Structure 1
């Protein structure tokens, strides 16, 4: 998993068993299947998947992802999305990696809303593999809070950043002082 500026705990510290299994299933998917899963998740928002609160995000924080991205060719958009999923060191992946999870979720939500129009859509010949259906089923079976936690976990595991997590007391052997 990519390192993220807001990653200060191990995921097993805060994920319940079902959410952890869903994250692990997602992480086994290939890049394009991860993108497909995100598309299907956002397609089902409000139906079997709970949307994140858009008021918790700040879209103006990422003009690269929310403005200039839409001027790219669909091929370049797909490549930028792949770079983000793969945590590549690129302009778009760095812009994404600099965001907090709620803003990262907003980026994916906005892109999903525009898919097939100003954002590259699903290929008409895409055959959904069983692994994507399995992962989607796991997400749909989660409760509201678990779905949001899962989506945040997925979102924060993407993008590139050079910021490292703050070492824990256990790692440093030092106690914090005020």
Structure 2
């Protein structure tokens, strides 16, 4: 199974700290990842969100930002889980086809609508120490680091069978016009 096409992006552009945060996120179970994303947007939505909308194109995600909102809570939760787990489903493919800024916009819209048109957190939900620690750590890094972590996390979710184009170094061939 292949996640979003950009999963193989080099981590060289990220600091060791942001790479560690992504690795710790990836170690969480599916529902803990969903809870963490919700808490990030709950706590940091006002600062995280302005980075994406100017570069986002919500019209590219009608299935995720329109149709999705009409589904039952159970269907919505299953779709979120499928996206986090990179399952090969229609919604996960729709998500995987998006660039990171649009993927961040999807999570933002869903977080903003939670409890209204999007399935909410269970009333009795208690956050784990791992979620709380990861949330505290992302709050401690600068804005660019936060966006780097969130873009990486968002970009590793969803399903796409699109493969990255091989580089000249990999093929030994030069590109032609």
Q: What TM-score, normalized by structure 1, do the two folds share?
A: 0.92
What is the root-mean-square deviation in Å for CA atoms of aligned residues?
1.7
Could you say which residue in structure 2 is the equivalent of 1:26? 25
Name the CA distance, whole Å, in 1 between partners of 2:84 and 2:8.
20
Give the counterpart of 1:50 among 48, 57, 60: 48
Residues 80, 93 of structure 1: 8 Å contact kept: yes
Between Structure 1 and Structure 2, which shows a larger proportion of helix residues?
Answer: 2
Q: Any gaps of 5 or more consecutive residues in structure 1? A: none
Name the CA distance, whole Å, in 1 between partners of 2:71 and 2:163.
30
Residues 4, 165 of structure 1: 8 Å contact kept: no
Aligned-partner SS, 2:54: helix
Give the deviation of 1:174 after TM superposition.
Answer: 3.0
Aligned-partner SS, 2:120: coil
Name the CA distance, whole Å, in 1 between partners of 2:28 and 2:35.
10
Distance 1:173 1:7, change over 3 A: farther
Give the deviation of 1:7 after TM superposition.
Answer: 4.6
Give the deviation of 1:157 after TM superposition.
Answer: 0.3
User: How many equivalent residue pairs?
Assistant: 176
Name the CA distance, whole Å, in 2 between partners of 1:92 and 1:129.
28
Question: Does the alignment pair 1:70 with 2:69?
Answer: yes
Residues 52, 104 of structure 2: 8 Å contact kept: no
Q: What TM-score, normalized by structure 2, do the two folds share?
A: 0.92
